[in-house]
Homo-oligomer: A and B are copies of this chain.
């Protein structure tokens, strides 16, 4: 078995209100920073133990879609960070 480290970058879909982003942007404006479009998302890292990369990718995609995101509100992007022997 091999170990595959994935990174799931989870962002709100366009048009979905982001109260945390709006609140943060107000704070930054009060501190006189010229910043806008502040949007919060999730970054989830996890290791999958699998025979090969294809299997690991399939598991990672399934986990992300079933458990980590809300498919109605969120998009996701999966990145393989590292592959290693143990696992």
How far is A48 from B45 in the complex, measured between Cα atoms in Å?
27
Q: Determine the main DSSP class of A at the interface with B.
A: strand
The minimal Cβ–Cβ distance linking A77 to chain B, given in whole angstroms, is: 10
Task: Count contacts on A: residues with CB < 8 A to the other chain.
Answer: 34
Q: Given the complex, which residues of B lie within 8 Å of A31, measured CB to CB?
A: 66-67
Q: Closest B-chain residue to A1, C-beta based?
A: B34
Q: Would B27 and A67 count as touching, CB distance under 8 A?
A: yes
B24 x A49 contact (CB < 8 A): no
- Is A46 touching B37 in the complex (CB atoms < 8 A)? yes
Contact (Cβ within 8 A) B44 A42: no
Contact A37 B47 (CB under 8 A): yes
